[in-house]
Amino acid sequence: IKKIGVLTSGGDSPGMNAAIRSVVRTCAYHNIECIGIYRGYQGMIEGDFKEMGPRSVNNIVNKGGTILKSARSLDFKTTEGRKKAHQNLVNAGIDALVVIGGDGTFTGAEIFNNEFGYPVMGIPGTIDNDIYGTSHTLGYDTALNTVVECIDKIRDTASSHNRLFFVEVMGRDAGHIALNAGIGAGAEEILIPEEDLGLERLLESLQKSKASGKSSSIVVVSEGDKIGKNVFELKEYVEEHMPEYDVRVSVLGHMQRGGSPSCFDRVLASRLGVKAVESILEGKSNFMVGLYQDKVTLTPLEQAIKGSSKIDKELLRVSDIMST
Ligand code: ATP
């Protein structure tokens, strides 16, 4: 292995830049050339490559987003597109690939590996933390901190006006962000896809909380929750059944994906980047690097794609007790 390519793909997340930096510098440390591939798989198909030395990644460890840009590439889903991408890698003398992204990105990498026997290594980058084989994905910790900071601010206005706030957070089909940020920010209730509380129990819980003397409430709603109503419909529903409440909605949206990565995400990105490159140099391929019990580990891409990251049941109980 003389040359390794690196790309970011799918949704961006804080810590991707720190991971790019780590891959580039680990290559330099081992006297290997590193090529940055722009706009994910689309850039691979278009041959949008740039040589990256250790100084090309100065001052990015603290930056959100990705300097290599990200894209969703429909062309890469076609055999034709992947053939072109493979030819471009061969022409550029790139021997292996590190892909930073979510499960879609890993699916693409696995297919590419199967088709051409091409060495690939994945680094999990998504704020949703919905990837099997790692306790944390890049950007998740930063997103939690962003959400907690926002809810703290919402709480100030909620308590000044005796309001009930529904705060919608990201997470796709996983409730990790909602559950952890909800506990961290002291939410009354947390609605996640993994556990359908049901409308009646939600009402009961809010009524109980009101009766117990709480003057304001925050309900954190995961975007993929299964209660069957979106946050605006939830507002209407609660207003109908509890007219004494002044209900407001806040959808946090894309601010959760941005911002300077937390120290945790920077350290994680640095560790995963080193492991990804060094695993390739050891001849390994088709794995995702991740964190398990605070150790950096390898999980076959296939497992990372097929498995699901489970919610910690203990957290559900803690959340219940905290809303007493
Ligand atoms: P996020 O979780 O943030 O959305 P992701 O990596 O899952 O990140 P996707 O848009 O699902 O994001 O996938 C990124 C890219 O991976 C796609 O645009 C496509 O180029 C490639 N990809 C996804 N699925 C496949 C597939 N079945 N075959 C080939 N390529 C794929």
CB proximity list for 216: less than 8 A, separation 6 or greater: 155, 158, 159, 161, 162, 163, 164, 165
Q: Which atom of ligand 1 is nearest to the CA of 11?
A: 3
127 is in an annotated binding site: yes
Instruction: Please name the residue whose Cα sits nearest to atom 10 of ligand 1.
Output: 10
Q: Which three-class secondary structure state does DSSP give residue 85?
A: helix
Q: Distance, CA 25 to ligand 1 centroid (Å)?
A: 26
Could you report the predicted ipTM of this complex, rounded to two decimals?
0.95
* pLDDT for 78: 98
* pLDDT for 241: 93
Pocket of ligand 1 (CB under 6 A): 9-11, 41, 72-73, 76-77, 101-105, 107-108, 111, 126
Phi, psi of 44 (to 5 degrees): -70, -40
* pLDDT for 162: 79
* pLDDT for 216: 79
Phi, psi of 300 (to 5 degrees): -55, 135
What are the DSSP calls for 184-227, one per residue? Answer: HHT-SEEEBTTB---HHHHHHHHHHHHHTT---EEEEEETT-SS
* pLDDT for 160: 83
Q: Which of 12, 48, 75, 128 is catalytic?
A: 128
* pLDDT for 209: 87
Tokens read off for 283: 């001849």
* C-alpha separations of 97 from 86, 123, 130, 181 in Å: 11, 11, 22, 34
21 is in an annotated binding site: yes
Q: How many CB atoms lie within 10 A of CB 218?
A: 23
Q: Distance, CA 183 to ligand 1 centroid (Å)?
A: 31
Give the C-alpha separation, 187 to 165, whole Å. 10
What are the DSSP calls for 148-179, one per residue? Answer: HHHHHHHHHHHHHHTEEEEEEE--TT--HHHH
Q: Which atom of ligand 1 is nearest to the CA of 74?
A: 20
Q: Which atom of ligand 1 is nearest to the CA of 42?
A: 20
Low-confidence ranges of the chain (pLDDT < 50): none
82 is in an annotated binding site: no
Cβ contact 28:53 at 8 Å: yes
Among 9, 12, 75, 105, which is best to mutate for testing ligand 1, by the most ligand atoms less than 8 A from CB? 105
The verdict on whether 225 is a catalytic residue reads no
Give the C-alpha separation, 146 to 258, whole Å. 9
Model pTM?
Answer: 0.96
Q: Which atom of ligand 1 is nearest to the CA of 72?
A: 18
Rg (C-alpha) for the chain, rounded Å, is 22
Give the C-alpha separation, 6 to 40, whole Å. 9
Cβ contact 183:236 at 8 Å: no
* pLDDT for 91: 98
* pLDDT per residue as tens digits for the range 97-121: 999 999 999 999 999 999 999 999 9
* pLDDT per residue as tens digits for the range 63-110: 999 999 999 999 999 999 999 999 999 999 999 999 999 999 999 999
Give the C-alpha separation, 153 to 254, whole Å. 17
170 is in an annotated binding site: yes
Among 7, 8, 9, which is best to mutate for testing ligand 1, by the most ligand atoms less than 8 A from CB? 9
- As to burial, measured by CB atoms within 10 angstroms (0-12 exposed, 13-18 middle, 19+ buried), residue 321 is exposed
